[in-house]
Structure 1
Amino acid sequence: MHRHRAALTWWAVRLLGAMPRPLDVLHVRYADDGSLALADAAERLGAALVFTATPDPHRGLAERHAACDVADPAAAEALRNDLHRVFLADRLVERADTVVGIPGRGGTRELVRHFPGLARLDEGRGPSAPPEGIAPYRPAPDEDDRRREALNRLYRDGTDPGALDPRDRDLPVLLCVGRLHPVKQQDLLVRSWLATGAHHTTTLVLIGGSPGTGTAVEDDIRRRIDTLLAPYPQAARRLALLPALPNTEVRRMQRALAQRTADACCWYVCPSAKEEFGIAVLEAMDAGLPVAGPRRGGVAHYLRDQVNGLLMDTSGQAGLMRGLRRIAATSVDDRRRYAAEGRKLVAERFSVTRMADELAAEYTALRTG
């Protein structure tokens, strides 16, 4: 994208400048060259700029690259990419009229350590953190029929890589939704699922990736999973890898799985190395599923261990195996309590309406301040 930054700015100025009324505020939410191009466009259009800052890549830079071989071209390229993102985030924070943050366990104070200029905000506490929000799920008129159909498709054929064996319909399910990418660690989840022997007692459903020809990164994740499953034919029948589905279909399947019996329960498992926030985790909570997510990143801001779910160490296989064992050992009563508390949390704090209201207040303050 960096090769096209000037062109992106040129097009943004012309497209946004052609709107019926002038642009007041432009909000960018990711530290990449596209956001910097839009920042240039905002300046030319006289619009205020808002940037959503996160602790990464600053937070894990030293840890990720401390043991790298400087002579390894792949390691050098990874370091270059991370340093470039640091540069971009620094420039965007510097140029933004205001910054909002995605909080971690300590709120947004960590951002001040990485971006000292943010100490000017809120008496040193750093930027505000308007909540992320999810849209309400709206059932279809024939919702019950559609949920039954979704489960029937899921359990149609154990020899199909995108389905499960009908004979395993009464087993508990571990569900994971997310793009196929190394940071999401679906392959590590499969490895841990096999290593703990969980494939003898549960099924695993992964949703994500291109529906058809995937990217090189997606194909690599699929190859890793196929290699792991090769020695375990029974496990292969108990794992379904579905392509990315429309959001409504994912949320309908979550609700269908949440309605099943206690013995055939479903857990939502997020094995990511980190999540900046975890919208998919919130959607699972909203569906009434108990969830297990990573300690590292933004999920721990709202997921409290043994209160409304479980937090796992997802930094390696050993930690993820411990997490899967904790899931297996959770009582029915605790599982139901986590699910109820999770659903209550989403309803009270993470509606899309509240998100819109708080962001609108940030935007209005820029134009009236």
Structure 2
Amino acid sequence: MSDHRALQAAMLGICLAVGTAAPAMAWKLTPEATTTERRLAAYSASRLQRAINSGAFWGVAVVGHPVHEDITRRALQCPADGAETPGCEFDIRYQVAGVRWNDDPAFKFLPGRGGYAGCTAGQTVRLVTQPMCWGQVFRHGESAAGRGVRMTGANSNLLVRSHFGDLQFLHAMAIADGEAPEQTRRNVLAWAEFAWRTAIGEPRFDSQRMVASLPIDGFAQRFRFNQGWRIQDLFALGDPSARRDDRLQRIALGSLLHVVQDSFAAGHTQRAVPVPGSTCAGRADWPAPGPIVEFHSYPHQDSRKHGRADQPDALAAHLLGAQPNVIDVVRTLAELWRARTAWDDARPYLECVFMLTPDARPASPGDDYRPGAFPDPALWRG
């Protein structure tokens, strides 16, 4: 086989390897690399490895559907679709980076965490910089979770924890089957508080603050194995350009928006239909979305069905349904953020967005998302 054909085969193999991991997270984003990340990806790489990495990056990008990005741009850039209004924020690159973060948080590959091809101990890993390593770590995490292994800061990195472990609330999902809906909601709202207070620039939530010592219930326990992490290490590992406080604030907002957006995807939650005329906290300008009947949990879902619930056609069907829809909710949050609304004043709206029905159920994969379930579910809801 010629070198050219060998290279083509290697590129295809990596694309397929990473692509098999992607459906579980549905790749609702189109991965992009910052200038810093592209330089890191090329640093000290052989000519062949650079070509392989380039092929893998291309392969992953084309299988993606930028649903999260679409929602974020439509909600943040203008108050009404197609309107050109003074005050629209057209440069939202860091909010979009934050929306991507929940699906692809940078992590340092530590010694003793597996002998995967393409992984080098001590390197910072993201999909766009080390696709071979990223794909293998992701698939290993998915397999371990399916066997019942509990993923925490003691044994796992951020990528695995967010998709299969103790940080699944970053996707508005329960940590495990059977988790009480009140517990999942507490986890979601604790993250919302952290992200919001960081996003509005509260003095105790600047880039150098230690995550494990933040004054939020549950955070010290959640990050007790990550005692040295600062907020900038959480959101901007390997990317010095993102470490300015104003940029981290936008990334934090994007991370919160990701959680909110996922909560309207039927693979993540089951919502009731909104009650016409109902509002949040008595505010006429805060229409209430449908309350949550169940937070789903991922490890025992059919990954293909979960992925289909995050596709553009699912979002389009959702936007034709009852209001407020996901874009309406994100716009309200954007308005509150632009006004630098204090957490105590923004909290009632987020509590309403994640309101539970009186008969909310413990977490499960969701009847429509179990392997073999038929027919396919109605995708986005609420």
Tell me the TM-score normalized by structure 2: 0.28
- Tell me which of the two structures has the higher relative contact order, counting C-alpha pairs closer than 8 angstroms and 6 or more residues apart: 2
Tell me the TM-score normalized by structure 1: 0.29
Task: Name the structure where strand makes up a greater proportion of residues.
Answer: 1
- Which one has a bigger Cα radius of gyration? 1
